[in-house]
Amino acid sequence: RKEVEQDPGPFNVPEGATVAFNCTYSNSASQSFFWYRQDCRKEPKLLMSVYSSGNEDGRFTAQLNRASQYISLLIRDSKLSDSATYLCVVRAIQGAQKLVFGQGTRLTINP
Amino acid sequence: DVKVTQSSRYLVKRTGEKVFLECVQDMDHENMFWYRQDPGLGLRLIYFSYDVKMKEKGDIPEGYSVSREKKERFSLILESASTNQTSMYLCASTADRSEAFFGQGTRLTVV
């Protein structure tokens, strides 16, 4: 089983729709969680950190469920510019702090 | 702004060559990582380092080695390049418990 698993998609949704991604992780000792965004042929960039109480940044909402070991990302009122690959990232403790990435979910917003 | 710089954007090397990929960060981060990214496989961790001269194997270390002689620099070495090492290589750095910052990536082609 992969340490971090995501549905690879692709997700194709119309502009203005709400879209949700889930990500599950296997290491119960994981401590930090993030969502990254990666545009085609670019490096990943931080979209938002995910906190235990859940957090929101404009149209984006992230949730963490430690009991079920999953995190989620909700995008409301999607824009064409939201088209990208979204990566779930988990920081695990393995001697040092190891960052493990999901394989990413590709999202395309259609006009 | 945090800056992570990889020495080359594009590289073409011959099978059997020894290849050095360099990564430098300017934020005094303890942790540095090397990933490779391939279509359908996501980011896979090759090696990481949590301190000078310290290194840990990631998920796919075979055929690679690393060097961290100074805190700001983390080098990835392909001892004898092979065609299956053709990939996008991404370097990242992070302080403890913070998000990762990526270099722009090196697209390596082994012919």
Which of A75, A62, A80 lies closest to A23, judged by CA?
A62
- Nearest-angstrom CA–CA distance, A75 and A61: 7
**Minimal Cβ distance to B42: which of A32, A42, A102:** A102
| Chain A residues near residue B48 by CB distance under 8 angstroms | 96, 98-99
* Residue of chain B whose Cα is closest to the Cα of A103: B42
Least confident range from A59-73, A87-101, B11-25: namely A87-101
Q: Are strands B106-110 and B10-13 parallel, antiparallel or unpaired?
A: parallel
The pLDDT of residue A50: 93
Q: With bands split at pLDDT 50, 70 and 90, how would you rate the model's confidence at A93?
A: low
* Residue of chain B whose Cα is closest to the Cα of A10: B40
B99/A46 touch (CB, cutoff 8 Å), yes or no: yes
Beta carbon pairs, A and B, within 8 Å: 60
Which residue of A2, A93, A99 to mutate against B (max B Cβ within 10 Å)? A99
> What does the mean pLDDT of chain A come to?
91
Which of A26, A32, A21 lies closest to A84, judged by CA?
A21
A103/B56 touch (CB, cutoff 8 Å), yes or no: no
Average pLDDT over residues A38-56: 92
B90/A43 touch (CB, cutoff 8 Å), yes or no: yes
Residuewise pLDDT in 10s, chain B (111 residues) = 769 999 999 999 999 999 999 999 999 999 999 999 998 888 999 999 999 989 999 999 999 999 999 999 999 999 999 999 999 999 999 987 788 899 999 999 999
B50/A95 touch (CB, cutoff 8 Å), yes or no: yes
The pLDDT of residue B17: 97
**Minimal Cβ distance to A97: which of B45, B96, B101:** B96
**HSE-CB for A109 with a 13 A CA cutoff:** 17
DSSP calls for B36-103: EEETTTEEEEEEEEEETTEEEE-S--TTEEEEEEETTEEEEEESS--GGG-EEEEEEEE-TTS--EE-
